[in-house]
Amino acid sequence: MDSKNDFIQSAQAFISSSIASVMTHRLYNDWENITNSCSQIIDVATKVLSINDLSPDTKYEALRGLYFALHNLALSSYLDDDYTTALNFLNNIDLNVFPLSAPLLGRCNQLQISSITNDSEQAWNAMLQYARILDEHEDEVFAENPIGIDQLLISRAYINLSLTYRGGLGVPRNLETAQRYLQRGIARLDEDDALAPLQEELSHYKTGLFGGLKYV
């Protein structure tokens, strides 16, 4: 029993320190070290998850480590325009545990469908279903402290949610709701590259002469 607990504690410390290391490498776009660290996280997390009678908290933390690593490997593939490999990683992630992957999953599905079928409506719908997960799990997404490409993907998701209501795409047209999605993204994100497209889109919303919003 002691040896099992010692291993779990050692594994948890390793996963935690490795996640911190990956986040540091993310700041410098050092994807070689990111992928190496993520492979090690997956190996250790998988060994923890193979142990019987794990406590719920231990299992949850091991899963989060595993999904964090899969997410970052998917990001690396996405940046290489390899959407098939990215989706293979992402499809092993439970979005209820790690919803940060939802914007990336939506974008990869959108690009993959567009490249195979050229069906823009199907691609849009594939993207939108995952953007809605961001909408439903916003606090959990930002609890992961997204940076870099994740912020850009989240920004795109907010814009797409806004476009849905601005254009009445499958929902009643509502400029106020469309505007609120942009404002939510601006309130949550903090990197200039992610904020700029939201701010540009928001600048088109004006109050009419007799009140009410218009898009110009």
Task: Convert the pLDDT of each residue in 9-35 to its tens digit.
Answer: 999 999 999 999 999 999 999 999 999
Cβ neighbours of residue 86 under 8 Å, at least 6 residues apart?
74, 75, 77, 78, 104, 108
Whole-angstrom CA distances from 48 to 42, 66, 67, 153 are: 10, 10, 14, 31
Q: What is the pLDDT of residue 1?
A: 58
Across 71-91, average pLDDT = 97
121 — pLDDT class (breaks 50, 70, 90) = confident
Whole-angstrom CA distances from 109 to 101, 146, 160 are: 12, 20, 14
Which class for 59: exposed (0-12), middle (13-18), buried (19 or more C-beta within 10 A)?
middle
Quote the CA–CA distance of 92 and 42 in Å, as a whole number.
12
The runs of H, that is alpha helices, within 31-148 are 31-49, 56-79, 83-90, 101-117, 120-136, 138-143
The conformation of residue 93, written as its DSSP 8-state character, comes to: S
Higher pLDDT pick, 127 / 99: 99
Whole-model pTM: value is: 0.94
Across 140-145, average pLDDT = 95
Where do the structural domains in the chain lie, given as residue ranges?
1-80, 99-216
8 — pLDDT class (breaks 50, 70, 90) = very high
**Across-strand partners of 213?**
207
Give first-to-last CA distance, the chain, whole Å: 67
Average pLDDT, the chain: 95
